[in-house]
Amino acid sequence: MVTHAEKIVRELLSTVDVEIDGGRPWDIQVADRRFFERALSDGSLGIGEAFMDGWWSCASIDEMISRVLAGHLQSRIRRSISILFLAARARVTNRQKRARAFNIGRKHYDLGNELYAATLDRGMNYSCGYWKNASTLDSAQEAKLELVCRKVGLEPGMRVLDIGCGWGGFAAHAAERYGAHVVGVTVSKEQAELAAKRCSGYPVEIRLQDYRSVKERFDRIVSIGMVEHVGYRNYRTFMETAARCLVPDGLFLLHTIGSNLSVHSTDPWLDRYIFPDGMLPSVRQLAISAEGLFRLEDWHSFGSYYDRTLIAWAENFNRNWETVKDRYDDRFYRMWTYYLLSSAGSFRSKQNQLWQIVYSPIESPRTCESVR
């Protein structure tokens, strides 16, 4: 017997050419009929949790999610009171304040270096690759690092601050290829330990430190895939910190996922299971936070490359699962798979963007040419 909830879900999905128990890769196979009620009552949170629980499957989650997001189906499902409460709380509290700075490190980046080594490229770069002339994940990530170094005009002996240094991919590249002296800060203990080992022998210092605590001056500042954890209440503080730490004729490159809308919270499933306290900035939010501090030199958008990057990560994770599965369970496997593939769908549908932005101090005398 078809329930009212199932009828509604089927009708909604049909508007984006997705079928229940259909034969195409992007069709959803339902194993537990409770899925329909859960999807309607809890929206994206319920859908993600139902996948983790094995209630439904899909051969091409990325394409299914892309169709759902492009059709704006999420806005046509009434959100539960608990989810509305979470969104309201995000508007009135600063979830990314100093006291919580290391929360994301413990809950996401400290999941295990082996997991990230199994998922990422050999340089362990956890951000979008630059696929313009690349054919592999390794070459795309190296091209991204080269692009960053060229955009900021890196030269031997320059002091560089890497805000959110990850596992040291950029720091090692900048030091080895350009002779830069790099200070990398991260809020992840696991990242800091491995980054220090990987950068051993280079003029690189890795610190377990919140960005707001950095006081020194640098010739260049780079932040790759970190501002997504800053939060809308702290964007101005982030920009003020960068401005305080940059020499008068320096350059600051910000590499970030971006939102089409100015939001104050993130997807509830991502917030609960992947990026607690995460938030994507908009063009408007970044512009307001930088006003009076920085002059915009270049804004480069290449969100389509993140789709390809995430698919490559998902393939790596699948291929290498046997090497790490003793540390995790099947529910984690489904969670990580859903995270990577649904994220790919969000970029394919252009619901998310990827930007590289170059700033100079507002009073800088330099003339900066864009690099592609």
Q: Residue 205 in 3-state DSSP?
A: strand
Residues 6+ apart with CB under 8 A from 27: 18, 19, 20, 21, 58, 64
Residue 83 scores a pLDDT above 60: no
Per-residue pLDDT at 228: 96
Q: Rounded to whole angstroms, how far apart are CA atoms 318 and 173? A: 28
Query: Do 170 and 307 belong together in one domain?
Result: yes
Give φ, ψ of 251 to 5 degrees.
-135, 145
- Tokens found for residue 223: 């932040």
Least confident of 72-76, 205-209, 268-272: 72-76
Split into its structural domains, the chain has a count of 2
Q: Are 157 and 252 part of one and the same domain?
A: yes
93 found inside a domain: no
Confidence at 91, pLDDT banded by 50, 70, 90: low
**205: exposed, middle or buried (C-beta count within 10 Å: 0-12, 13-18, 19+)?**
middle
Sign of CA dihedral 334, 339, 340, 342: positive
Same domain, 169 and 28: no
Judgement on whether residues 182 and 51 belong to the same structural domain of the protein: no
**Do residues 270 and 307 share a domain?**
yes
Over residues 320-349, mean pLDDT: 97
Cβ(27)–Cβ(58) below 8 Å: yes
CA of 337: how far to CAs of 18, 57, 84, 143, 293, in Å?
A: 20, 11, 26, 26, 40
Same domain flag for 26 and 145: no
Please report which confidence band the pLDDT of residue 178 belongs to, taking 50, 70 and 90 as the band edges. Answer: very high
Pair (25, 122) in one structural domain: no
Reduce the DSSP state of residue 293 to 3 states and report it.
coil
* Same domain, residue pair 174 and 71: no
Distances (CA, A) of 76 to 21, 193, 320, 321, 351: 22, 45, 38, 36, 16
Report d(CA 344, CA 62) in Å as an integer: 6
The answer to whether position 371 is within a domain reads no
Q: Is residue 90 part of a domain?
A: no
pLDDT digits (tens, 9 = 90+) for 248-265: 999 999 999 999 999 888
Asked whether residue 85 carries a pLDDT value surpassing 50, the answer given is no
The SS3 call for residue 32 is coil
What confidence score (pLDDT) does residue 366 get?
75
Distances (CA, A) of 54 to 29, 103, 341: 10, 28, 16
Residue 190 and residue 333 in one domain: yes
- pTM for the predicted model, two decimal places: 0.93
8 Å CB contact between 96 and 230: yes
Is 189 part of any domain? Answer: yes
Kindly state the average pLDDT of the residues 24-31: 98
Confidence band (pLDDT; 50, 70, 90) for 6? very high
Asked whether residue 370 is domain-assigned, the answer is no
- Examine the pLDDT at 300 and tell me if it is beyond 70: yes
CB 191 within 8 A of CB 165: yes
Select from 79, 109, 127 the last residue of a domain.
Answer: 79
180-201: b (≥16 Cβ within 10 Å) or e: bbbbbbbbbebbbbbbbebbee
Give the pLDDT confidence score for residue 260 in this predicted structure: 96
User: What is the arithmetic mean of pLDDT over 184-210?
Assistant: 97
**Arithmetic mean of pLDDT, 348-363:** 96
The radius of gyration of the chain from alpha carbons, rounded to an integer in Å, stands at: 21
Position 261: which residue type?
L
Q: 133 burial class (0-12, 13-18, 19+ CB within 10 angstroms)?
A: exposed
Q: Is the same domain home to 297 and 352?
A: yes
Task: With cut-offs at 50, 70 and 90, classify the pLDDT of residue 367.
Answer: confident
Indicate the residue among 49, 79, 109 that finishes a domain: 79
**CATH assignment at residue 293:** 3.40.50.150
Is 311 inside any structural domain? yes
Tell me the per-residue pLDDT of 98-128, one tens digit each, with 9 for 90 and over.
645 577 888 999 999 999 999 999 999 999 9
123 lies in the same domain as 60: no
Final residue in a domain of this structure, among 46, 79, 112: 79
Verify that 262 and 160 share a domain, yes or no: yes
Residue 206 belongs to some domain of the structure: yes
Which residue range is the domain that position 40 belongs to? 4-79
Is 173 contained in some domain? yes
Report how far residue 151's alpha carbon sits from residue 315's, in angstroms, rounded to the nearest whole number: 30
